[in-house]
Structure 1
Amino acid sequence: MLFRPLLPSNVLVAEMAPVDADPTCLPSRERALIERAVAQRCREFAAGRTLARGLLRDAGADIDALLSDSDRVPIWPQTVFGSITHCGSLCAVAVVPVAHADGIGLDVEPAVPVPEYLLPRIVRDTERAQLAALPSALRPLGGLLVFSIKEAVYKAIYPQCRVFLDFHQVEIAFEGDDGFVADVLVPAAAPPAHARIHGRFRIADGHVASAVVLPRR
């Protein structure tokens, strides 16, 4: 499992390939959310919802359907925080009780380098030295890693604060072999005491994965 090594034991996590998901098996209220979507999007959505409802059942927060709000954010039961991420080849979902965390965010991407012309939109000038210092084997994926980390950070904080951020409004630094710290540069965009966020990343099985769990304050 790609994400399990990145998350504490009190976080429930599940993964599947979207190709194995069946959108026709979704509850009618979930199917209604993708009635105009293309086939690939339907499979990714179905994988996420199927995994999420299974984890919620395991967490004692069973629901009939996991719907979305006007910002397309999943409406999780009040007893948990959750995060869904998917790409064409993998979907992952994590759920953690609110008693154990202040938020959670996952991101998965295919391990394909970001085109050079896109890097200035993602990487701050102050982060370029971080990329240059990565091990040589990781350097080609440095821009993608920054993208994935910032996506995971955003997904951990946006559902609570509802402040839109661009990639230059979060600054990251790598810690050790698989850790990072992210500074949210817009104070209102992060929950109290979470302007500096720690997380972990992993590159394996053709994917880049990033995960954030906000510790309970």
Structure 2
Amino acid sequence: MNPLAAVLPTSVATVVRLDDDSAGPLHPTEEPAVAKAVDSRRAEFTTGRACARDALAALGAPADAVPVGEKRSPVWPDGVVGSITHTKGFRGAAVAFADVVRSVGIDAEQHDVLPEGVLEAVSSESERAVLASLAARRPDVHWDRLLFSAKESVYKTWFPLTGRWLGFEEAVLTPGADGTFRAELLVPGPVVDGVAVGEFRGRWTVADGFVVTAIALEA
């Protein structure tokens, strides 16, 4: 199962693992990020990095290490952009050449209702109204969790382009029942290829108990 491949263009190489078996050792430059971590955190980090290296190899890019950089974001080889996600039972990575895709953001979450109070903290009243309308049409989808996941993908796309934090309230997320979503930025966006970016568009899917969202900002 690779739901990441279903929501990203073919120019993006993706790898998914559903367990932490046979992830292999960390590269010495990756090790410091989890030197003092509990076993569960170390396992998800190690498997996430294994996914990243496998994706880099599939892309045909150097696949030695993906250390942790600023704000704990992955440091990719020169000329490559990428994103890593992990939740219980799901680890994944997506990478692309930077001359084809300028930034990529992915997120996977358990397909379940958000904990009480979280939706109110990460969304506006207007966003919640859209979710209620969608829930009436597609009650099989946990739209609150989808919105949360999509906003995570928005941030992961945003940060490599700007180096700045983006709050949940700084982008209006509008999911579509057709497997797409749109995020309108409420703050000045990055300039990419000479054009100011005012929104990100992505795709989502629900598969085998997970909701998966992704954005690929193509050149």
TM-score, L = length of structure 1: 0.91
| Equivalence for 1:204 | 207
Shift in CA distance, 116/198, structure 1 to aligned 2, threshold 3 Å:
same
| Residue 20 of structure 1: aligned partner | 21
Contact 1:122–1:143 (Cα < 8 Å) also in 2: no
Whole-Å separation in 2 of the counterparts to 1:30 and 1:18: 20
Distance 1:81 1:9, change over 3 A: same
Contact kept, 8 Å, 1:184 with 1:190, in 2: the verdict is: no
What's the counterpart of residue 126 of structure 2? 126
Encode CA deviations 1:36-85: one digit per residue, 9 max, x unaligned.
Answer: 01111111111111111122223232142211113211111121110000
* Secondary structure, counterpart of 2:197 in structure 1: coil
Q: Which moved more, 1:144-153 or 1:54-63?
A: 54-63
8 Å CA contact retained: 2:150, 2:213: yes
Aligned residue for 1:147? Answer: 148
Partner-residue secondary structure (3-state), 1:95: strand
Matched, 1:69 2:58: no
Aligned alpha-carbon RMSD (Å): 1.8
The 1:12/1:162 distance shift into structure 2, 3 A limit, reads: same
Contact 1:164/1:189 (8 A) holds in 2? no
Distance 2:140 2:180 in 1: 14
Once superposed, which parts of structure 1, at least 4 consecutive aligned residues long, lie more than 4 Å away? 188-192
1:137 to 136, 139, 143: 139
Gaps spanning 5+ residues in structure 2: where? none
Q: Report % sequence identity.
A: 33
1:4/1:200 CA distance change after superposition, 3 Å: same
- Offset at residue 93 of structure 1 (A): 0.3
Q: For residues 63 and 207 of structure 2, what CA distance do their matches in structure 1 show?
A: 33
Alignment partner of 1:133: what SS? helix
**Structure 1, 65-74 or 33-42: larger mean CA deviation:** 65-74
Distance in 2 (CA, whole Å) between partners of 1:173 and 1:94 is 23
In structure 1, stretches of 5+ residues that fail to align are none
Which residue is equivalent to 1:93? 93
Which letter maps to 1:211?
Answer: A
Residue in 1 aligned with 2:163? 162
Alignment check: 8 A CA contact 1:200 1:211 kept = yes
- Partners of 2:176 and 2:112 in 1: CA distance: 23
- After TM superposition, the structure 1 = structure 2 runs for residues 29-48 of structure 1, keeping only pairs within 5 Å, are 29-48=29-48
Once the two structures are TM-superposed, the CA of residue 215 in structure 1 deviates from its matched residue by 1.9
1:12-44 CA-to-partner distances (Å, cap 9, x unmatched) read 000002432546x22222222211011111111
TM-score normalised over the length of structure 2: 0.90
Q: 2:102 corresponds to which residue?
A: 102
Paired positions, count: 214
Letter in 2 for 1:81: V
Question: Residue 193 of structure 1 corresponds to which residue in structure 2?
Answer: 196
